Structure 1
Amino acid sequence: MQNTFADKTSKYAILEILGEGAFGCVHKARHRETNEYVAMKKVHMKKTREGIPTAILREAAFLTKMNKSAHQNLIKLKEIIIDSSQDDNQIVVFIFEYIEYDLDRYLKSHRPLNINIIRSLTEQLLTGVSVLHNNSIFHRDIKPQNILITSNGILKIADFGLAREYNYTKLLTSVVVTMWYRAPEVLLQASYNMAVDIWSVGCIFAEMAFGKALFPGKTEIDQLKKIICLFGLPDKSDWPDKAKITRESFTNCNKTSTTLERLIRFTDKCASDLLQSLLEFNAKNRCSAKKALQHDFFRKSDHTMCTVSFDDQSLSTAVDDIFDYKQTYLDTISPCDTNSDYEIQSVRSEFTDSFDVFHSPPMLLYDDSSPIDVFAWYCPTSP
């Protein structure tokens, strides 16, 4: 009978590292008897007087609770193995079902995505979030690396290390969520609720369509500036109550000529409307996961007309070229005014070779069908 930690873990043959971080590491492993592949998350920690840290107990409790729902869009926990035999340290091992991709890797290897794949993944992500929220759990760290995709296209939300049970009488204020997917109220250090997960879903929806993170901020303030530059400075009534950063701090943050609709051009207006509802600055106006799933974007009977603009070429490749161009450009000449047709055309003639990937229309012509907004968004007018 297997009772010891060594006995319980030895039934798995460790194959390769899938990821590692401050918590420990995740390995791909194989069950020696069944040959089933699993993901083994091993967490090392110091022993405390209270025993296993609260964060680990909380994660285990949420995973166990969600296991009972047996929902296909949530990662399945197979077992937990605990070693408390050492004097100073203890090890907790989570055994999960093994999933082939995370969304970050999936996007890099499958881009550009067509709109039907984007629709399917977004619907599955919202479904998983809805199940969590219906169980009074919000994830608080939804990002591509925590979203797994099976070989047959099933999406699963993983990593509940920052998840919390939502209490309507106690609003949370601790800083959570990887910065690029962090809602304005969290960045502003105001109280927040389940709507932070919806903002993260919106950012991921945009990233799937755009091929790059929508708000790749370098600092929290830079992250806020990027959001405000795209959407404009919100009205006072939309600014979070008791935010530690005031609205007046951003009065000089001018809205760019780029808009969300121009940056990510869906020919399907339903897609644009859904994206806007997920990315409402005011958390009170942000739609719930349940309401989002009722959106016409997921109910269309004819999907053939839904496509992202520039589907004849990889917009991701376009943005990659822009990044390469930006460095060359900033190293050679002073930045131009991206709102000036004349200056834009001058720049293009200077660096024509950088934009050979674009055939029709020309990359830097400022018109309704050219991706000038991508250039403007990633190449600000100052280095």
Structure 2
Amino acid sequence: MTWSRAISGGSATSCTSSIIEENYTVVKNLGSGGFGQVSEVKEKTGAKKHFAWKQVSLEKDPYGENEVNLLRDLKHEGIVKIIEAHNADGMVDMVLELCNQGSMQEYIEQRFERVPMSYEKLYMAPEFFQITSCMTQLLEAIKFLHENCVAHRDVKPANVLLASGRRWKLADFGLATKFQPGVFLKSNVGTRPFQAPEVAQKCYTEKCDIYSTGILFIALTIGKAYSRPEDLESEEEKAAAVQLLDEKRWRNQELGTHALDFAKSMIRTPENDRPSAAEALDNSWFNSTSGPCCVIA
């Protein structure tokens, strides 16, 4: 497959990363990984808007082109928007909407505060309305994906970005795929502990995203991502995992009467027992009332 054009319009161009250099100024590096890197860039002309430039090596990430094709067709306020994309010499360059308020992973990490005269840390959980707002936005984006027969397959805090206006957006569609209703997906992809157990068994549906969202919800609420005890090696790790979903712990969180039930519903196994994204949005927990809280990490 060979393509090189602006997603949002404009004439086709031949492509190397020099096209990015000709039209944008690199402001700073936003992150890098085994597949490529992401930088903040600014237009050299016109409105001089800021965007995110993601460059992916197809040799390291064979899903790079797939990400462009999916994002080009997925238009939703809860999904990072693609502006333009180019492909040449085994590299994919994507210019994306900039979400400059950081990732949910960073948001969670920044909410830990050290206890004076102690090595312990307190996780200052977001307020009830902040968590419900985040989960509503994320589940609406996932609902849109599933209605359009797309499974993200890598929902995790690092892939949920915060844009201006307190808008959370789902990003990084490198592992996303189209699916046919009723046909199982087979690729073992994703990130533990957010990966649904059936994914490792290579027989699953789009509801793998619901499991991942449930683990994300626990991490946002408690400050730690839940791992299934059966996936852990030491007895200490298994006991800690069980304690993470202890009813007393969640009752003291003051996050509403059904918060723990909501979390457990999304990580049920088998996947048929999980709600759809639409059903999760109708959970009674969203209508609870609550106040602020904190827990010791």
TM-score by length of 1: 0.64
1:262 equivalent to 2:248? Answer: yes
Inter-partner Cα distance in structure 2 for 1:164 and 1:108 = 30
Superposed CA deviations along residues 292-347 of structure 1, whole A, max 9, x for unmatched, are 1112223x2xx6x4136xx2xx42xx21xxxxxxxxxxxxxxxxxxxxxxxxxxxx
1:109 aligns with: 110
Does structure 2 conserve the Cα–Cα contact (< 8 Å) formed by 1:115 and 1:209?
no
SS at 1:96 equivalent: strand
Shift of 1:226: 9.4
2:225 aligns with: 213
Structure 2 counterpart of 1:283, from 264, 271, 274: 271
Moved more, 166-175 or 152-161: 166-175
Count of equivalent residues = 269
Inter-partner Cα distance in structure 2 for 1:225 and 1:198 = 28
1:76 equivalent to 2:85? Answer: no
Q: Which has the higher strand share?
A: 2
1:378 aligns with: none
* Shift in alpha-carbon separation, 1:186–1:14, aligned structure 2, 3 A: same
Q: Which runs of 5+ in 2 are unaligned?
A: 1-10, 112-123
Does structure 2 conserve the Cα–Cα contact (< 8 Å) formed by 1:2 and 1:8?
no
Inter-partner Cα distance in structure 2 for 1:40 and 1:257 = 41
1:306 aligns with: 290
Does structure 1 conserve the Cα–Cα contact (< 8 Å) formed by 2:81 and 2:97?
yes
Paired residues for 1:1-383 under 5 Å: 3-5=13-15, 6-33=18-45, 34-46=47-59, 55-66=63-74, 69=75, 71-84=76-89, 90-100=90-100, 101-110=102-111, 111-187=124-200, 189-215=201-227, 221-222=231-232, 259-265=245-251, 266-267=253-254, 268-298=256-286, 300=287, 305-307=289-291, 311=293, 314-315=294-295, 318-319=296-297
Inter-partner Cα distance in structure 2 for 1:119 and 1:30 = 33
Shift of 1:228: 7.9
Q: Which runs of 5+ in 1 are unaligned?
A: 48-52, 85-89, 232-255, 320-383
SS at 2:275 equivalent: coil
SS at 2:232 equivalent: helix
RMSD of aligned alpha carbons? 2.9
Shift of 1:18: 0.8
* Shift in alpha-carbon separation, 1:270–1:257, aligned structure 2, 3 A: closer
Q: 1:64 corresponds to which letter in structure 2?
A: R
Shift of 1:57: 2.7
TM-score by length of 2: 0.81
* Shift in alpha-carbon separation, 1:64–1:269, aligned structure 2, 3 A: same
Q: Which has the higher helix share?
A: 1
Q: 2:91 corresponds to which letter in structure 1?
A: I
* Shift in alpha-carbon separation, 1:78–1:173, aligned structure 2, 3 A: same
Inter-partner Cα distance in structure 1 for 2:263 and 2:236 = 17
Higher normalized contact order (CA 8 Å, seq sep 6+, divided by chain length): 2
Superposed CA deviations along residues 268-303 of structure 1, whole A, max 9, x for unmatched, are 1132222221121221100010111112223x2xx6
Shift of 1:195: 1.2
